[in-house]
């Protein structure tokens, strides 16, 4: 795997990825072999999470940056570069990432229909349509602070911080 990764990544790029994601050299080389996405029921939904706005293909660096959101939050404040960007695995960046997974039309809000579509993709075979609708309704009702049957990222962030 190490030799394969070295042909895909320049040392300079590897070091930049390590700095951006907090992943180790061995983790990056191991993940390099997993870079191919497989077909699954939520494939398009997952793939959309890997596409930065305006880009139409996934690259290895973007793949690792997305995976970095799932790293545990170790003490980011101590290791954070004061002049640098917020770590990808910070609490607020994790929330922004999760929000983007549900905001299917990328209008910066999650509607009941979007929430229902994601729930259907994730659990349809195990839960009835009526139960899914009820879950979506309760979730929107609990999180909707504007009274327009939607969830907004700014409201969600403000409630958490």
Residues 52 and 17 in one domain: yes
Residues 128 and 70 in one domain: no
Domain housing 43: 10-89
pTM assigned to the model: 0.65
Residues 84 and 118 in one domain: no
Whether 43 is covered by a domain: the verdict is yes
Rounded distance between C-alpha atoms, residue 146 and residue 148, angstroms? 6
The predicted structure's pLDDT at residue 2: 43
The predicted structure's pLDDT at residue 34: 67
Residues 109 and 47 in one domain: no
Whether 99 is covered by a domain: the verdict is no
Q: Where are the alpha helices (DSSP H) in 33-152?
A: 43-50, 60-68, 76-79, 91-102, 112-123, 129-143
**Ranges assigned E (strand) in 28-137:** 109-111
Residues 44 and 71 in one domain: yes
Q: How many domains does the chain have?
A: 2
CATH of the domain at 147: 1.10.238.10
In tens digits, the chain (161 residues) has pLDDT values of 344 444 567 888 889 999 999 999 888 887 876 666 444 556 666 666 666 666 666 678 877 888 888 888 765 555 566 777 888 888 888 888 888 888 988 898 999 999 998 888 887 677 888 999 999 999 999 888 889 999 998 766 666 65
Which residues lie closer than 8 Å to 21 by C-beta, 6 or more apart?
28, 64, 65, 67, 68, 71, 88
């Amino acid at each position: 795997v190490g030799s394969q990764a070295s042909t895909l990544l320049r040392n300079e790029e590897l070091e930049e990825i390590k700095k951006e994601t907090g992943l180790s050299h061995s983790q990056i080389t191991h993940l390099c072999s997993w870079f191919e996405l497989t077909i699954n029921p939520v494939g398009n939904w997952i793939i959309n999470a890997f596409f930065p706005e305006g880009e139409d293909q996934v690259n290895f660096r973007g793949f690792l940056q997305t995976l970095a959101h799932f790293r545990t939050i170790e003490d980011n404040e101590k290791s954070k570069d004061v002049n640098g960007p917020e770590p990808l695995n910070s609490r607020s960046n994790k929330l922004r990432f999760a929000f983007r997974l549900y905001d299917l039309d990328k209008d910066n809000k999650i509607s009941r229909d979007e929430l229902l579509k994601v729930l259907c993709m994730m659990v349809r075979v195990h839960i009835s349509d009526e139960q899914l609708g009820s879950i979506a309704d309760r979730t929107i009702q609990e999180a909707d602070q504007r009274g327009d049957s939607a969830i907004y990222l700014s409201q969600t962030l403000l409630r958490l911080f």
